[in-house]
Amino acid sequence: MSMEPPHREPLDRRSVSIKVLATPTLPGPVVDLRPITVDDAPAMLRSLGDTESTRLTGTQGSFTLEQIERHVARIVSAPDRHDFAITRPGDLTYVGEVVLMDIDDDNRAAHFRIALASESLFGQGLGTAATQRVIDFAFDDVGLHRIELEVYAFNARARHVYEALGFRVEGVKRDALWQDGEFHDAVVMSMLSTDR
């Protein structure tokens, strides 16, 4: 008995596109996500002083408040990204950011990144909740098919969260980051809308 795969009509890519949306506010029980604004620039600058947060994200260099303000002014109107400030419910204070960027309409794909503002915020479920909320937004509201991220091999906590939420390892970029006197690998991970 032969098992033929079910017949599927070819996908007409012209009929499928991502939805261009303004970055919304996404409330939740653990975190609220709201659009980043220039008013967040001072908190963003302070977060760049947190040694562990910048180590885990591979952030290098130093920035001024004016540079961050210019960066935020540029990204808030960029059509290929959604930049969210992570806040606690009922409190608009910036505690981190989560971003869908490099949104590719043709391939219904985007890159993902997240950073909590301080090591003191780790272990509270904020990053997990923000990541899950952005995954839901990306697939259900924007209409993406693929989300990709990179996580440094030494960031086992983040990799564990990504795997628990459904991201799969695709490969390794060897010696992708020079930090603390040595090279570190970056693990490439992705999730498809069909993985959920």
What is the pTM (predicted TM-score) of this model? 0.88
pLDDT tens digits, 98-148 = 999 999 999 999 999 999 999 999 999 999 999 999 999 999 999 999 999
CA 154/CA 185 separation, integer angstroms: 8
Where exactly are the structural domains of the chain? 23-144
Kindly give the interhelix angle for 126-136 and 156-165, rounded to the nearest 10 degrees: 40
Q: How confident is the model at residue 13 (pLDDT cuts 50, 70, 90)?
A: very low
CA atoms of 151 and 144, how far apart (whole Å): 21
Q: Assess if CATH 3.40.630.30 describes domain 23-144.
A: yes
- 102 SS3 class: strand
- What does the pLDDT read at residue 61? 86
Of residues 157 and 3, more confidently modeled: 157
Reference 136, options 123, 125, 147, 126; nearest CA is 147
Phi then psi dihedrals of residue 99, to 5 deg:
-135, 135
C-alpha pair distances (Å), 92 with each of 71, 80, 81, 129: 20, 25, 21, 16
CA 32 to chain centre: 15
For residue 177, what pLDDT is reported?
Answer: 96
pLDDT > 90: percent of the chain? 84
Mean pLDDT of 156-178: 97
Q: Is the pLDDT of residue 175 over 90?
A: yes
Whole-number pLDDT of residue 18? 67
The pLDDT of residue 84:
98
